Structure 1
């Protein structure tokens, strides 16, 4: 800590005339200095500060949250045993207090001190906390125990100590993952073996149906898998995606697991064939190794034809798929040999195999279709990319629930791609043959996704805060697609299709965060930030014009009674005055007041050349007079006018 700050704090300690707790400025300084000292392990500094305060002040300071955490949690996180003991024994800090801590870039909320020490591997602090009475099974907000935290990073000595002090090995986190599962996933053989010897449930399933065997398969932990499978007779169960551990290993590309399991007599023949074919697909898309892919596909062929009396034939789709260029799966080793020199055909084989075995609902199916499309886009083949992405988006909207993050990701990827294709390099557009039909199709699918979200199970959306965030993001993505279609020249009949879809969107009255309607989003600068890469810039006059033409309510208000004109005024963009003028000339009430009793022009006072008197109507003046003189109007004027008067 800087000498100047240290002297300042010491002087505060000596000369304070009122309690530190009652002085916000002093309290803030004390909290920050104590927090940083605990983090950096400066016990002498802490004593110099806290020993001069009253017992109540000390307890308050060491227990209050700073930067979402507490001094005790920081001392536990960074391994300062002397400070931990000082806080608990001298400062009477609550050793069950919780806060947020960060490990490997991930923030864990509601973590108690024992969880922090166990996760960080500080054995001596774990011992101290338990001796002082810490609850060995105190969980975080996600229901993770200190034992699970120790299992995650392989702290065997801490795992053993916690178990000896009655840690429950079967407490699962909110996803249903147990200590055994996380040990298998992280490949900690010694811990997994110890938990199994204690009687850990080897066949327990998570919320999504995966078992410890699945975790071994996904991480490539063959040694642990052999222990589970051979010694503890773990069952090969299917998870929520109907994936067995063998198929999961093939999708992840763990050759050691696949080669071990396909030789086991306990595994069904069709499952072995599927795994070998998936392994080949993984080598194509994940490892770009055509020869290894061919090797595994040939092994699958051998399995299919091993018994001439019981040939296992492939199931063929009813229709060939244009997105895959009407490719069909090879049915023999000779057919494979004929296509091995054509990399494009091999890639289509991989997509066909994955879709047939995993099905459209599995995340990897559409992920690799989109991945293959992105590869084409990187090489300048935008048409093939759009064709594959369109197929993936259709698949997602047909099998996934509304607002699924994968569907949103597809819509955003289209917006980013179209934006890039429409951009200019050296005075020329990147891609001059962008089809308005493609852009129109994606826009219509975006409108469909919003409609699906609002009408899901017959209930209004959003249902929860998470739903609200998803819905808002999807609506923002749609605004970017709307921005793009509004810019691109098209035929009159195509323009009418866009307007009909936009009219339909407005009729279902979608509202995002803060009660924002599409017109609010069209003039909000924050709508610009929707993904990792810049897509479109807002406020945007073209989008505003399209929405107004389609019947958007110019005077719609959000939860703070802001009209779109207010939001445009708050955007502080170079073009916001132009957009404000356009809104006003289109009929927005210039003198509507928000919940802070501000008009839009008052928000941009001094930076706007709009003269309000040019737009104030006699109707507006009458409303102001009624309000200024407190004239009773409710029940005496038509209902439609009551809201108009209130807005002034």
Structure 2
């Protein structure tokens, strides 16, 4: 029992194999009959690996003698972790060539891929282990095999910058396939900024046609602008691409005409070599050219397209150009919502960035930024515009029960935006029309009848301290009396219970300290003061360091019917089947 017991998810044998303690491992196997296949949880590079067998741990950590010990005692050489990673793949990851060879000699399958479809060859290429890549290719590893997302070993080389391995793969017949985003290894190298990979590949006409070569040079130039801040290098690359496009061998290849976008300041792509020189005098125009170019080449579905739009917006915000930032971020958010699955982490991140930006602007309004610009007032219509997009994300994502954590995150961010809107109503007298629009948008959220984790509604979350994402900003404090009041005004149920039987009033009581304003708003809108949760706790019993009479006038909110129900419960007077059926649930709640 002791040998099979786990500490932090790992057995003694797993720990010994992970840390290279040969004598301990041998003792546990020979004298204690430890289960040689019993998996455990181990840490590598700050990441927890679940379901790792002892052999996997020893191979990943580079302990050859322990690997030999385990295999000599019958360890299965192709056993996997929960993510389907084999000991061989683990050894390939960190470049343990001696272990790779030993495992292969004892029957390891070089083609077993993990759950993402990444093979041993792919990981060796990505990590730059050329000796292991050579060995696997010598064994006949599939050079053009694709992962779940469609990338090949050649993609992995291009992304990591391993030119020598890339040459090796091409010698073994690697082809220029596209992944699920339509990206070739050449474009992957251009996106990551590996000039040496791009320069090598574009000189292989049997692999790279002229059009692909032009795209790669243009995309690499855009990467120079946004990732490397190398304007001169970008200009040279764009000139080369332009010359090849219009004066290279064969017919000219005109640029695809794209629609002018307000977020890009209606920038049109330059189509003349002479006009490129003028860009050096206008860095901002050059940055817009890079965004337009990247979207044309990669398309809106590629993560880097929206990533660099958001990046450029953040740079504008740091410079105090908040309107440019908001316009770019909205464009990126629209792109994500139209192209990505609902509740995607990238969309979550965009919504959260808006929340943080608006909170900062509300807190710093009228003050100077580090660049000397005044922080302008927040445009309530811009906050409302983003809030409606967040509600749309919640609405379309609520059927994805497998992603309840994601749904909760997006709902919490949505409520932070709603909190900002309710503060803007209170502190900046809005027109009746704007106030009505805000209330209608929040009503739409309430009317979705959405339930987050633990069965909590938007009103529960508005009264809960744990959901605060931006505690350093006064405009976005939780529990939020302003938000709770509007939620109740548009129809939220003040006594609705979550999975633990807590009403919003219970959650408010758990805040430290409980804000009196939230409790009073709930009670004024019909919340019951003495409702019990599943543990039998009331609002009063959950308060810590506070007395109920300090927060609310209990006499005002105590009803005769509630007193009667409590007496029935206190003295355990039989009531089911005696009182009208409609009263049974009422009594049970006290």
TM-score, normalised via structure 2 length: 0.94
Q: 1:401 aligns with which of 310, 322, 341?
A: 341
1:551 paired residue number? 491
SS of corresponding position for 1:141: coil
Deviation of 1:389 after TM superposition, in Å, equals 0.6
Query: Secondary structure of 1:326's partner?
Result: coil
Structure 1 position 596 matched with structure 2 position 526: no
Shift of 1:611: 4.8
| 1-structure distance, mates of 2:461, 2:184 | 45
Shift of 1:158: 0.5
Matches within 5 A, 1:6-21: none
Cα pair 2:365 2:376 within 8 Å, conserved:
no
Within 5 Å, give how 1:559-570 maps onto structure 2.
559-570=499-510
The answer for the alignment partner of 2:443 in structure 1 is 503
d(CA) in 2 for partners of 1:173, 1:509? 39
Deviates more, 1:104-113 or 1:531-540: 531-540
1:472 to 408, 417, 424: 408
Q: Match for residue 580 of structure 1?
A: 519
Deviation of 1:644 (Å): 3.0
The reply to whether residue 268 of structure 1 matches residue 209 of structure 2 is yes
Q: Alpha-carbon deviation of 1:626?
A: 5.4
Between the aligned partners of 2:14 and 2:435, the Cα distance in structure 1 is 59
Q: What is the CA deviation profile of residues 401-440 of structure 1, one whole-angstrom value per residue up to 9, with x for unaligned ones? A: 1111111100000001111111149988972332111111
1:462 pairs, out of 392, 400, 418, with: 400
Matches within 5 A, 1:85-164: 85-164=26-105
Quote the residue 1:219 is aligned against.
160
The alpha-carbon deviation at position 129 of structure 1 amounts to 1.1
**Aligned pairs for 1:374-413 within 5 A:** 374-413=314-353
| Long gaps (5+) in structure 2 | none
Q: Does 2:388 align with 1:444?
A: yes
- Distance of 1:530 and 1:132 partners within structure 2: 55
Where structure 1 has 5 or more consecutive residues not aligned to the other structure, the ranges are 1-59, 455-460
Corresponding position of 2:375: 431
CA 66–577 in structure 1, closer or farther in 2 if over 3 Å, else same: farther
Aligned pairs (5 A) from 1:234-245: 234-245=174-185
Q: CA contact under 8 A between 1:412 and 1:531: conserved in structure 2?
A: no
- Tell me, in whole angstroms, the C-alpha distance in 1 between the residues paired with 2:204 and 2:107: 38
Q: Is the 8 A contact 1:213 1:245 kept in 2?
A: yes
SS at match of 1:423: helix
Q: 1:193 to 1:492 in 2, by over 3 A?
A: same
Q: Give the deviation of 1:312 after TM superposition.
A: 0.3
CA displacement 1:133-178 (0-9 Å, x = unmatched): 1111111111101100000010000000000010111111010000
Correspondences of 1:485-496 after superposition (within 5 Å):
485-488=421-424, 489=428, 490-496=430-436
1:453-472 C-alpha deviation (Å, 9 max, x unpaired) = 13xxxxxx2321xx000000
Q: Is the 8 A contact 1:323 1:387 kept in 2?
A: yes
Aligned-partner Cα distance in 1 for 2:541–2:280: 70
Secondary structure, aligned partner of 2:405: helix
- Which digits, 9 at most, give the CA deviation of each residue in 1:332-366, with x for residues without a partner? 21111122221101100110011011111100000
Paired residue secondary structure (2:48) = strand
- Closer, same or farther: CA 606–629 of 1 in aligned 2, 3 Å: farther
Cα distance between partner residues in 2 of 1:102 and 1:425:
45
Given that 2:575 and 2:584 are in contact with CA atoms closer than 8 Å, whether structure 1 keeps it comes out as no
Alpha-carbon separation, structure 2, partners of 1:76 and 1:144: 17
More deviation in 304-313 or 366-375?
304-313
* Per-residue deviation, 1:622: 4.4
CA contact (8 A) 1:511 1:517 kept: yes
- What is the alpha-carbon distance in structure 2 between the residues aligned to residue 349 and residue 265 of structure 1? 28
TM-score normalised according to structure 1 size: 0.86
Query: Contact conserved, 1:476 with 1:530, CA < 8 A, in 2?
Result: no
Q: In 2, are the aligned partners of 1:634 and 1:642 still within 8 Å (CA)?
A: no
Conserved 8 A contact 2:470-2:476:
no
Determine which of 128, 145, 168 is the counterpart of 1:204: 145
What SS is found at the alignment partner of 1:310?
coil
Residue in 1 aligned with 2:173? 233
CA drift at 1:529: 3.6
Partners of 1:642 and 1:449 lie apart in 2 by 39
Which residue does the alignment assign to 2:227? 286
Aligned counterpart, 1:338: 278
Is 2:188 the counterpart of 1:248?
yes
How many Å separate the matches in 2 of 1:553 and 1:151?
57
Q: Deviations over 1:81-140 (max 9, x none)?
A: 111111111121112121111111111111111111111111111111111111111111
Change (3 A) 1:428 1:555: farther
| Alignment partners' CA distance in 2, 1:578 and 1:436 | 24
Whether 2:132 is the aligned partner of 1:194: answer: no
Are the counterparts in 1 of residues 363 and 473 from structure 2 also a CA contact under 8 Å? no
Distance 2:474 2:338 in 1: 29
CA distance in 2, matches of 1:403, 1:104: 28
Q: Which residue of 1 aligns with 2:244?
A: 303
